[in-house]
């Protein structure tokens, strides 16, 4: 068994005349959380999109559990590697309908919707409520539950708490961490919240202008002593704002 959930091997992506990603090399070890940080527009979301074949690289390779993504059957890959976005889309219907949405697409049904809802920290009395009526934090948990129903081994999280208020943010963050602990899910988690990155990360990936310029397996050390000039500049700028506690 390969010990890496995801591996980027010399990955570049060019679109039109633009180089969105340049020679990215990095690994997400199985069962670990990698926080992917960097300035807006540095290529974080683009990098995630390579992991489940939403996009393919111009050169280089992306491996999921040791197998190049383009050799995976796409449905199987997307069951294994699931994505959660910043603004969850609720489909018309109840919370229960929303939880089973992905499984229905695969011709399956959800065996224990109440249990799943509780796994994401919501009371099962919400099952019959209209999904559109939920709060932002509740919607994000339903989106998480809908994704977890597929039993992915790897989660790609793209700024999943940035549309939430502080309270909901911490609740959703705790929910994700407890799922990580109970299921051992590997995670590549994009966040622009540096205090959050500090709390959740085993490993830091720092991107700048399409390059993965710093990979650190000691998150606290990264924040205390960033090694690359772009990371030093980025942390200094963020400290001037209030990105770091």
Ligand X SMILES: Nc1ncnc2c1ncn2[C@@H]1O[C@H](COP(=O)(O)OP(=O)(O)O)[C@@H](O)[C@H]1O
Task: Name the residues that contact ligand X, by CB under 6 A.
Answer: 15-16, 18, 20, 38, 40-46
46 binds Mg ion (CB under 5 A): no
Return the number of the residue (38 or 113) whose C-beta is nearest ligand X.
38
CB of 154 to ligand X, least distance (A): 18
CB atoms within 10 A of CB 63: 19
Nearer to ligand X, 137 or 210 (CB): 210
Stretch 162-221 residues interacting with Mg ion (CB under 5 A): none
How far is residue 221 from each of residues 24, 95, 230, measured CA to CA in Å? 22, 42, 16
**Residue 45 sits in the site that holds Mg ion (CB under 5 A):** yes
In the complex with Mg ion, the residue whose CB is nearer, 85 or 103, is: 85
- Select the binding partner of residue 18 from ligand X, Mg ion, none (C-beta < 5 to 8 A, by kind): ligand X
Helix (H) or strand (E) holding 138: helix 136-148
Residue 40 binds which entry of Mg ion, ligand X, none, CB below 5-8 Å type-dependent: ligand X
Burial of 38 (0-12, 13-18, 19+ CB in 10 A): buried
Among the candidate windows 43-51, 52-60, 194-202, 224-232, which touches Mg ion by CB under 5 A?
43-51
Contacts 24+ apart (CB under 8 A), 108-113: 110/149
Residue among 101 and 206 whose Cβ is closer to ligand X: 206
Report d(CA 37, CA 214) in Å as an integer.
Answer: 10
219 and 201 Cβ atoms separated by less than 8 Å: yes
Give residues in contact with Mg ion (CB under 5 A): 44-45
């Amino acid at each position: 068994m390969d010990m890496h959930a995801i591996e980027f091997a010399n990955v570049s992506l060019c679109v039109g005349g633009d180089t969105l990603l340049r020679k990215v090399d990095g690994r997400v070890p199985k069962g670990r959380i990698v926080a992917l940080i960097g300035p807006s527009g540095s290529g974080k979301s683009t990098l995630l999109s390579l992991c489940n074949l939403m996009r393919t690289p111009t050169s280089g390779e992306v491996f999921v559990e040791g197998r190049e993504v383009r050799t995976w059957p796409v449905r199987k890959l997307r069951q294994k590697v699931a994505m959660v976005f910043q603004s969850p889309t609720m489909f018309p219907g109840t919370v229960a309908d929303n939880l089973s949405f992905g499984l229905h697409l695969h011709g399956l049904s959800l065996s224990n919707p109440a249990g799943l809802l509780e796994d994401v920290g919501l009371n099962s009395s919400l099952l019959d409520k209209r999904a559109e009526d939920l709060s932002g934090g509740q919607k994000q948990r339903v989106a998480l539950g809908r994704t977890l129903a597929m039993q992915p081994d790897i989660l790609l999280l793209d700024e999943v708490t940035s549309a939430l208020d502080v309270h909901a943010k911490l609740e959703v963050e705790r929910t994700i961490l407890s799922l990580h602990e109970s299921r051992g899910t590997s995670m590549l988690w994009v966040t622009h919240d540096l205090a959050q990155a500090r709390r959740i990360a085993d490993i830091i990936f720092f991107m700048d202008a399409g390059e993965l310029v710093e990979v650190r397996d000691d998150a606290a050390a990264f924040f205390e002593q960033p090694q690359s000039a772009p990371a030093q500049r980025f942390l200094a700028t963020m400290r001037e704002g209030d990105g770091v506690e």
